[in-house]
Structure 1
Amino acid sequence: MGRRTSLASLAGAKVEDVPGLSDAVLLSLPLNKLHCTRFNPRRNFGTEDELREFGEKLRKEQLQPAVVVSRSAYLKLWPDEAERVGAATYVIANGERRYRASKLIGLATIEVVHREDLAKSRADFLDAVQSENNDRKDLDPIERAIAIETMVTELGGAEQVAAYYGKTGGWVSQQRKLLKLTPQLQDLVSSTEMPVRVARDIAGLPHQAQAAAWQDELDRRRLAKKAAAQLRAKAAPAPAPRRARASSQQGSDAPSFTAVSPGSAATAAPESPAAAPGSVFTAVNTDGEPEASSPSADGSSPVPSPRHDQPGHEPNSQPRQLPYDDAFYVVNHLHAKMDTAVFASSARLLLGILRDEHPDEYRALMQEMTQPDRSA
C-alpha cells in the first residue's frame, strides 16, 4: 500500500486533533492507486514537453506532495462517481499536474498527503480543489469561473456558494459571467489578450454579437494609440534654429568676435577694435542668463530673452523644452497652445487611457468630479 509517515512527527507537532482520522499523513503511492477528480477547474496543464521537464524534476525530488482523500470518503459525497473512480483507492484533490507529469515519464510512485477531513462536505472538498490553484494564482479567470460554476452546481445554488465564502450573490454572478462568452473569446481571456473588465461587458451580449463587439473594442484601442502617438509627436520640441556664422553676402572671410561674460566675477576682455561692417559678433553669458541681443546688421528684430515670469523659467536655468517630467506645466502649455476642441478631444483620450489602464484611479477621479462643491 505504500510507506506511511505522519507529518506530525516530521513537523514536531500534531497537524490535527483526531489521531487516525484527520491526521495529515504522508504516503508514497503507486500511480495506479490514484484517480483525478473531475471537479478540477484547471484546463491548461502545459504542453507535453513542459510536463516532461516537470516530471524529470520530480524524479530528482518532489518538494510538494499531492493532496488526496480516500475512495470511500469521496464516494460518500458523490456516489455516482464509483464507476469513474474505478479501482483507485485515493482521489486527488490537489496535485493533478504532478500526477500527470509523473505518469508521463514513467515514475512508479508519487508522494501524497492523505487529508480525510477535506471530504467532510462537498463544499470543503471543492474548496480544497480550488484553493491551491487560487493561492498560487495558477488559475486563469476562465478557470476560476469554471470552479465557481462547479460549486454552484454541486452545492445547489449561488446562494450556498456565496454563504460558504461569505460573499454576496453579485460576487458569484460576476465570477460566472465570463462563461457566457463564446469559446473563442474565453480563450482570449485565458491568454490575457482580452481584459476581464471588457470581457464581462461583452459577456452580457448575445453570442452572435460578441465577436463584433470585441472587434469594435480593438478598433477603439487602435485609434486611441494612434491619437496618443500624434499627441506625443505634437508635444515634441522643435529643433532649435542654428544661426549662420556669416551670411552668404558677407563672405566666408568675414572676421568674427566673441565676448564672454563669466557672471559676477567677469574678467575684462582686452579692448577690441570696433567691429567692421560684415563681421559677426556673438555674446555668451556663462552664468546661464542670455544677454539681451542688439539689432542685427540687416535691421531685423532680435530674438527676445526669456522673461523671469514665463511659466517654468527659473533663474540660472535654461528655458524648458517639452517633453519633461512636470506634468502640470505640460497640461497648461498644451491648453495655451491648442485649439479648444482639440484640447477637449485630447482630454477625452487621456480619460479613456486612464479608464482602461488604471480603473481604480479613474473611478476615484469620476467620484471626486461628481461630488458637489461644498467649499462655498
Structure 2
Amino acid sequence: MAMNPDEFDDFLNDEDEPAPVVDTRADGRLLRVPLGRISPNLVNPRTDFGTEDDLKDFGRSLKRRQIQAVPVVTRKAYLNLWPDHKDGIGNVDVVIVSGERRYRGATAVDLPALECVINDGYAESRKTFLDAVVSENIDRQNFDAIEEANAVEVLVEAFGTARAVAEHYERVDGWVSQRRILLRLAPEAQELVRRQNMPLEAARKLGKLVKDHQWSASDQLQWWEDEQQERAKKAAAKKAARTAERKAAAQAVSVPPSFTAVKPADAVPAAVPGIAQRVEPEQSSHAPAPAPAALPVQRETAPSPTPTPAEAPPSAASPAVRPAGPIRQPVADEPSVLVRQLPTHDWEQLADIVIAELPEAALHNLTERLLEAVGADTSSQSA
C-alpha cells in the first residue's frame, strides 16, 4: 500500500510540525549506467587500486549488492573544465568523480552496469571538482604517502597557492609542504615510501636534501643505505644501554645492603667528662695484626669516707673504661687491644653501660663528680 506524502508526519508518530523534506541534490538522478558509458576522470591522483585478485573480490561483492552509488558528472560538464580530455575519456555519457575502484572491480568481473548518481554541481569549477575527487582519498587511511603528495600538488595547482589549500582543509602550511617535498624523490625512492620501506620522517629529510643538492637517484639510494646503517648503530646502542640498566637494577635488588655498627678506625671519639678512653698505637699496614689480649685497666677513685671494695676485671664483652686521670700508654712491645668505642652519642645507652660495669661505691663517686660538674649541691647527697 502506497503512503500518502501528506501523511509523512503521521508515520513518525510525531505531534510536532515536521521539517519539510528537501532534495539536496543539484540535479541528482540515480541511474543504472552500463560500464561502457562510464569513464574515470583523468585527474585522479590515486594510482594504486589493489591487485587483480583484490579487484575481483571487490567486484564479486558488488555483484551481490552495491550499497554505495558512484558520484558522476555528465560528459559535457566535465569537458567544460578540461576540454583537452575529450579524446582521453572517449564517447561516454558520464565521468566518475570518486569511486574509480568500484568501476575497476566491476570491470574485473564483467559486471554489466553500476548505480550512479549524476550531480553536475561537482563540476562548477576545477577547484570544486578536484576537492570532491581528493577529499575522500585524503581521508582514507590506506591512501599511501606518494598518492597523497600527488593529490596535494593537484590541489595547489587548482587553488593557486599552498596556503589556500591549507586554509581550505583547515591545516597548517607545513601540512602541504611536508607532502609536496616527497615529489622531489626519484621514482626508486618513492617506491620505497609506497612500500613503507622508508619511513616518512626519513623520506621528508631526503626530499629536503635533494632540493638543496640536486641528488640523482643513485645518490638518494646511497644516502638511504648509509642512513639505515646509522639508525641500526643507534638502535643497538640504545638496546645495550637498556640491557645494562636492567642488569644493574637486578643486581641491586638481589644483593642486600651491608650494615655495620663499628665506627671507622680513624674516627676520634668524643670526650666524656670523668671517663677516659684507651688510645691505640698506630699499626703498620705491613705488620700482621696481633692477637687480642686482655689488658689490665686502671681505675682511679676519688677520696671516700668508706674504703672502695676490690674491683673485678671487665669481661671481654664489656667496654674497657676507667675514670678520668692520666692516660696509660702501652709500651712498644705491648700488643694493642681493639677497644670498643663508647656510645657517647646516646647518653642513655652510655649510662646503662656505666651502671652495669662499675661497682656501687664507684657509682656513688661518679655521681658526685657529675653533680659537681653541673654545679649541683651535693650536701644532701653526703648527708
TM-score range, shorter chain: 0.5 to 0.7
Instruction: Point out where structure 1 has 5 or more consecutive residues left out of the alignment.
Output: 1-8, 242-302, 309-376
Out of 190, 197, 203, the position equivalent to 2:194 is 190
Match of 1:115 in 2: 119
CA distance in 2, matches of 1:152, 1:114: 27
1:231 aligns with 2:260: no
131, 134, 139: which one pairs with 1:135? 139
The CA distance in 1 between the partners of 2:91 and 2:99, in whole Å, is 19
The one-letter code matched in structure 2 to 1:212 is: Q
CA distance in 1, matches of 2:255, 2:229: 46
2:106 aligned with 1:102: yes
Report how far residue 307 of structure 1 moved: 7.0
Shift, 1:228, TM fit: 2.5
Structure 2 unmatched runs, 5+: 1-7, 9-19, 260-383
User: How far apart are the structure 1 equivalents of 2:170 and 2:102?
Assistant: 31
**1:14 aligned to which of 22, 31, 40:** 22
Distance 1:305 1:79, change over 3 A: closer
Cα distance change, pair 72–225 in 1 and its aligned pair in 2 (3 A): same
Q: Distance in 1 between matches of 2:256 and 2:176?
A: 65
- After superposition, the C-alpha distances for 1:106-139 in whole angstroms (9 at most, x for unaligned) are 0001112222111111011001111112222232
2-structure distance, mates of 1:33, 1:189 = 36
Mapping for residues 61-100 of structure 1, pairs under 5 Å: 61-100=65-104
Q: Secondary structure at the match of 2:71?
A: strand
Amino acid at match of 1:216: D
* Structure 2 partner of 1:54: 58
Match in the other structure for 1:222: 232
Q: TM-score, normalised by structure 1?
A: 0.56
Q: Which moved more, 1:77-86 or 1:53-62?
A: 77-86
Whole-angstrom CA distance in 2 between matches of 1:305 and 1:168: 57
Deviation at 1:169, TM superposition (A): 5.5
Q: 1:154: Cα distance to partner?
A: 4.3
Write the distance in 2 (CA, Å) between the matches of 1:162 and 1:199.
21
Query: Which residue number in structure 1 is paired with residue 215 of structure 2?
Result: 207
Query: Which residue does the alignment assign to 1:312?
Result: none
CA contact (8 A) 2:192 2:198 kept: yes
| Alignment RMSD | 2.9
Worse-superposed segment, 49-58 or 157-166: 157-166
Secondary structure at 2:33's aligned position in 1?
Answer: strand
The answer as to whether partners of 1:145 and 1:178 remain within 8 angstroms in 2 is: yes
1:249-281, Cα deviation, whole Å (9 max, x unpaired) = xxxxxxxxxxxxxxxxxxxxxxxxxxxxxxxxx
Q: Quick check: 1:29–1:110 contact (8 Å CA) kept in 2?
A: yes
8 Å CA contact retained: 1:70, 1:90: yes
Taking the aligned partners of 1:75 and 1:304, their CA distance within structure 2 comes to 82
* Bigger Rg, structure 1 or 2: 2
Q: Distance in 2 between matches of 1:113 and 1:181?
A: 38
Q: Deviations over 1:190-229 (max 9, x none)?
A: 2222222221110122232322221222112111222123
Q: Bigger shift: 74-83 or 145-154?
A: 145-154
SS in 2 for 1:223: helix
When you count strand as a share of all residues, which structure comes out higher? Answer: 1
1:125–1:138 CA distance, 2 compared to 1 (3 A): farther
- Residue type at the aligned position of 1:187: E
User: Paired residues, what number?
Assistant: 233
**Aligned counterpart, 1:317:** none
When the two structures are superposed, what TM-score results if normalisation uses the length of structure 2? 0.55
Q: What are the within-5 Å matches in structure 2 for residues 1-376 of structure 1?
A: 13-16=21-24, 22-158=26-162, 161-162=165-166, 164-165=168-169, 170-205=174-209, 206-208=214-216, 209-237=219-247, 305-306=256-257
More deviation, 156-165/200-209 = 156-165
Q: Aligned partners of 2:162, 2:250: CA distance in 1, in Å?
A: 66
**Paired amino acid for 2:234:** A
Q: Structure 1: how far apart are the matches of 2:248 and 2:171?
A: 56
Contact kept in structure 2, 1:203 and 1:210, CA below 8 Å: no
